[in-house]
Structure 1
Amino acid sequence: MAAELVHASKFETEGEPEKLRFYYYTAGSGGAGPTILSTSFLLLGEEVLAYNKEKVKLKPYSGMLNINFGLGIGKKDVFLLNFPEGRNIHEVFGVPNVSARFGTSPFFWNWGMGAMTDFLPPEFLRDKSKVQQLVQLFDPLVRAVDGFAGEKVSMRVDLECSEGYHRIGIFSHKKLSVSLGFSTAAFVLAILEGSTRPGVWFPEEPEGIAVEATKTLLNRAAQGTINFVMNKAPWMVETDPKELGFGIFD
């Protein structure tokens, strides 16, 4: 999504990309159970690498923002985490200001994640065996809460360029487990069609997904979404479609 926004900006403005922000939201564990718990706990043990013209290190699960994920999701609180795409976008596309945030619900899970960074030493959270013990402790409770929290997932990517150009992409699905299936299949088809080069790549790298194949991949992955928009001005997706007088997909 980030790569598509950057590529599109080159045809729509003479300005240069200045800021790129990743925002992620998952209801509960998203149905992924121990997998997402392990990943989240391990990330809490890592300093967040963000970029404000130069690399900066920030406390994990700090810097809360209330972000509008649009139709079907609404506004959610998100917090800084050390996702690899932040560094990759900075290096691959040369965007000087990049950060990534994540949030979940119910709200008390966010409180719990923040408390872990306050009261548990980073060395503990980087120890996979200790994290696995935490996962086994919390997993039954998380699964119980998942029963009413659901497993919605949403991703929002914001790109700001010089000269006031601002475009976003949003991808939202009612079920993370279903969305993962479609997304995995989309990448497999891209490989089979020769849209990647041999090796292991991040999708934002040109060797990972060819520029001309990005739109096709995204449209395939977006099957069943409750909201999928790309390269739109923020006001077009942050406003109730009824107020605009047209559907969000028009």
Structure 2
Amino acid sequence: VDLVIHAAGPFQRDDKCTVLQAAVFTKTGYTDICHGVDYSWRAKSFHEQAKASGVPALITAGISPGVSNGTGGAGPTTLGTSLLLLGEDVIAYDKGSEIKLKAYSGARNIDFGKGIGKKYVYLMNLPEVKSTHKNLGLPTVHAQFGSDPFIWNWGMETFANFLPSDLLRDKNVTLKFAECVDPFIRVIDGIVGERVAMRIDLESSNGHTTTGLFAHNNLSVSVGYAAAAFALAVLEGSTKPGVWFPEEPEGIAIDARKLLLRRASRGVTNFTMNKNSGMIEC
């Protein structure tokens, strides 16, 4: 075995990195699609062990985080993860200072371009925020998430505002609830589809804004391409021994990123990088 891909989420509330530890012990390459802040930094604490063992390990290497910076397809695991995130304070950064905000607050209407249009997004505690702040030195960072049809956002807002946070942090409770409502969600997905879109806006100190846009008609397929792109990068030697986030140059070599993004963007309906926000086709 040359590589293990850890996709058995949700990663929230896991206090051990058992799969990563096993990979390091057996000198096996590792990637995961982790979307938990605490879990990702717990995994990062095994960096020196992985480095000493010569094991390349890439964490948060799915689609969002991953290509945007993991998530699975539309199903109980993804819904369970979203509910668990509602029980967490949102960690964001403002002019270099860490701030805590309420989950699913701060609604914004964002244009995701042709085929998707304008959708509401809300603050969530996602690992790419802390990792880009720490690894890229960005002073102000936050991440937002939304769903469609809008009724899902109403439900998430209601849960975040009225359910006790202890209940939302209970992994058993959230996963059981997710399993109960999964058939209903699949019916709706069959009607409206399972599209996914991401947008990144980078504002420089001189006020210039650069935008990246990614859209695909099938979330599950898109996640598979993204996870496979990272796995291939590790197998091809683009990741150095140690535990890395994708944005670190040791995680994905700079000269390997164009190929990674080309693989991860297979089948997209919209993929734009490093464009002035006014030039985005909407």
Interval containing the TM-score (normalised by the shorter chain) = 0.7 to 0.9
Deviation at 1:137, TM superposition (A): 2.3
What is the CA-CA distance between 1:208 and the residue it aligns to?
1.3
Structure 1 segments unaligned to the other structure (5+ residues): 1-21, 24-28, 241-250
Match of 1:93 among 128, 132, 136: 136
Matched, 1:111 2:154: yes
TM-score between the two structures when normalised by the length of structure 2 = 0.72
Larger RCO, structures 1/2 (Cα 8 Å, 6+ apart)? 1
Query: How far apart, CA to CA, are the structure 2 residues paired with 1:164 and 1:31?
Result: 36
Structure 2 residue matching 1:208: 3-state secondary structure: coil
SS in 1 for 2:77: helix
Match of 2:82 among 40, 47, 52: 40
Task: Tell me if the contact between 1:30 and 1:146 (Cα under 8 Å) persists in the aligned partners.
Answer: no
Structure 1 counterpart of 2:169, from 126, 131, 146:
126
Question: Secondary structure at the residue paired with 1:212?
Answer: helix
Over aligned residues, Cα RMSD in angstroms? 1.8
Q: Deviations over 1:50-88 (max 9, x none)?
A: 111211100000000000011221110000000010011
Structure 2 stretches lacking a partner, 5+ long: 1-63, 66-70
- 1:76 corresponds in structure 2 to 119
Q: Contact 2:195–2:216 at 8 Å: present in 1 too?
A: yes
- 2:270 is aligned to 227
- Residues 206-225 of structure 1 aligned to structure 2 (within 5 Å): 206-225=249-268
Do structure 1's residue 187 and structure 2's residue 230 form an aligned pair? yes
Q: Quote the offset at 1:169 in angstroms.
A: 0.7
Specify the alignment match of 2:100 in structure 1: 57
Shift of 1:233: 0.6
- The size of the alignment, in residue pairs, is 213
CA contact (8 A) 1:30 1:175 kept: no
Superposition deviation, residue 165 in structure 1: 2.2
Once residues 31 and 84 of structure 1 are traced to their aligned partners in structure 2, the CA distance between those partners, rounded to angstroms, is 18
TM-score of the pair, normalised by structure 1: 0.81
Structure with greater proportional strand content: 1
